[in-house]
Amino acid sequence: MYAVAVHVASVTQSEIQITLEVVVDVVNALNTSDVGVDVRAPFAEAGFSRSQSASQASVDRLGKRMQALAPLIDALPELADDDAATRINEELTELTISPSIVDHDGVGAHMHWTPATARFDDQVMADVVMALAYELCDNGTIRFGRCGADGCGRLFYDGTRNRSRRFCADSRCASRTHTADHRARKKQA
């Protein structure tokens, strides 16, 4: 018998994936809210350790900067790799990064793009734009998709190995589509 195959990602790969997933959640929230989005909670849940202690001013700046970046991220499923690279290169020129190799909390050596003294919003924006840049180099835009449920269209990031994701993080989208498919098949039968 074979053991269950475990996908062993490097620390960098798993951090990129975690970052892209929270970014997609924040973009979806920004797109569906007209009262603004508190970005502290989603980044805290995703394990951005400074989220809890960051000043409200820094969190507010991060919210505005994510709002400015949201149209680009939301367009990724439809953007060709070259065009996405051009757009992300523009964002890269805005970053002030100062990389170092660190190892903390037993996760293994990985890069930090900003020093520990960086403003929280600068740190997160560096992580976000660098994650987008790495993703573009590794996979292009193909892992960014749109929810297939009728009337949804929210963005998702597909981190599955065989790119089998069809729906956004809202579990209702998958279940109502499966119910509709099931009814359609029954009708045909």
Q: How many C-beta neighbours within 10 Å does residue 147 have?
A: 21
- Asked if residues 115 and 102 have their Cβ atoms less than 8 Å apart, the reply is no
Q: Which of 75, 140, 152, 159 binds Zn ion (CB under 5 A)?
A: 152
Q: Tell how far CA 168 is from the center of its chain.
A: 12
Nearer to Zn ion, 42 or 167 (CB): 167
The minimum distance between CB 1 and Zn ion, in angstroms, equals 37
The minimum distance between CB 35 and Zn ion, in angstroms, equals 21
Stretch in the footprint of Zn ion (CB under 5 A) among 22-30, 53-61, 128-136, 162-170 = 162-170
* Residue 168 touching Zn ion (CB under 5 A): yes
To which residue do tokens 């700046």 refer?
61
Read out DSSP for the chain?
-PPPP-----HHHHHHHHHHHHHHHHHHHHHH-SS----HHHHHHTT-TTTTTS-HHHHHHHHHHHHHHHHHHHHGGGS-HHHHHHHHHHHHHT-----EEE--TTS-SEEESS-TTS-HHHHHHHHHHHHHHHHHHHHTTTTEEE--STT---EEE--STT----S-S-HHHHHHHHHHHHHHHHHH-
* Residue 54 touching Zn ion (CB under 5 A): no
Nearer to Zn ion, 172 or 182 (CB): 172
* Residue 149 touching Zn ion (CB under 5 A): yes
Nearer to Zn ion, 14 or 60 (CB): 14
* Residue 26 touching Zn ion (CB under 5 A): no
Stretch in the footprint of Zn ion (CB under 5 A) among 56-64, 71-79, 127-135, 163-171 = 163-171
- Asked if residues 122 and 114 have their Cβ atoms less than 8 Å apart, the reply is yes
* Residue 128 touching Zn ion (CB under 5 A): no
* Residue 111 touching Zn ion (CB under 5 A): no
* Residue 66 touching Zn ion (CB under 5 A): no
Stretch in the footprint of Zn ion (CB under 5 A) among 24-32, 66-74, 121-129, 148-156 = 148-156
The minimum distance between CB 102 and Zn ion, in angstroms, equals 6
- Footprint on this chain of Zn ion (rule: CB under 5 A): 147, 149, 152, 154, 168, 170, 173
